[in-house]
Structures are given as C-alpha cells and as structure tokens.
Amino acid sequence: MQADWPAFFGQILPDTLHTNRTCPKAVQMEIAMKKIEAIIKPFKLDEVKEALQEVGLQGITVTEAKGFGRQKGHTELYRGAEYVVDFLPKVKIEVVCPDSLAEKAIEAIREAAQTGRIGDGKIFVYTVEQAIRIRTGESGDDAL
C-alpha cells in the first residue's frame, strides 16, 4: 500500500504541488522548460552565442557535429570549396530555457545563423521534464 501512495497522491492533488515528482501534469504547468537544439554552420557559432546571451540565456552546450540535409552534402560549399563527401562539419548547440524565453531564443538563433544559402541548419525544440543543478540541488527552471 505504502508504495502506491505517491502515485495516487500525484493524481489527485492540485497542480500547485509541483515539487511532487510523481505529478507530471503539475511539473509541466509550473516549471515548463524547452530544450532548443540547433545545427548550424560552424563559423556562425560566435554570433549565435552572442545573440543568445542578449536574450538572457545562462547556459549552452556546444558539440562538433557532422551531417547532411536535403542536398546530402553534395552541392554544399564549405570554406569556399564544394564538398564531395556526404557529411559536412556542423556545430550542434543545445540550450535549455524557461518556456517564456523559448520563442525569443529560437528567433535569436535563426537570425544569427542565417546566411540564406543552403546548409544554414535546423532548429529542433523539445519539452524538458526536469532540470537539476548538481551543486545546489535546485530543480526546475531555478536550476537553469
């Protein structure tokens, strides 16, 4: 019986009990966060980083990536040369932010990363269930 108690409680309590991790609906309503993942041209990284800082975002993860889109890399230029391989160098950016900043962040990335040429990249947006700041134990958007 005891083991079922948190699950039961999570279902019937109002959404204000967002600290109860057994209550996903409440988590979504109280501490909604988005992860924005962007694949961009490497030389645009600094501009995108600055644009995100202007929006007020605190953290960012950057990974060197390789990929191709609709042209399969074939007709895309990289550093002035046409690449003969499928995979072109890209940079993957990940930022997690409160829902309230997501639209601004997406627009900032799009504006900063756009050249108008093929291969400018893509932005993917995910819902984040939880975030925890390891040093302090803060959670939700307080942890960002």
Ligand X SMILES: Nc1ncnc2c1ncn2[C@@H]1O[C@H](COP(=O)(O)OP(=O)(O)OP(=O)(O)O)[C@@H](O)[C@H]1O
Q: Which parts of this chain interact with Mg ion (CB under 5 A)?
A: 69-71, 118-119
Shortest Å, Cβ 98 to Mg ion: 31
Q: Which of Mg ion, ligand X, none has residue 60 at its interface (CB below 5 to 8 Å by kind)?
A: none
* Dihedral Cα 134, 99, 40, 54, nearest 10 deg: -90
- Please identify, among the stretches 27-35, 50-58, 69-77, 133-141, the one whose residues bind ligand X according to the rule CB under 6 A: 69-77
- Please identify, among the stretches 12-20, 28-36, 68-76, 135-143, the one whose residues bind ligand X according to the rule CB under 6 A: 68-76
Q: Which of Mg ion, ligand X, none has residue 90 at its interface (CB below 5 to 8 Å by kind)?
A: ligand X
Beta-bridge partners for 92? 39, 63
Q: Which amino acid is at 58?
A: Q
Is residue 83 close enough to count as binding ligand X by CB under 6 A? no
Q: Which of ligand X, Mg ion, none has residue 32 at its interface (CB below 5 to 8 Å by kind)?
A: none
Over the window 101 to 140, marking each residue x when it contacts ligand X by CB under 6 A and - when it does not, the resulting string is: -----------------xxxxx------------------
For binding to ligand X (CB under 6 A), which residues are involved?
Answer: 39, 65, 67-71, 88, 90, 118-122
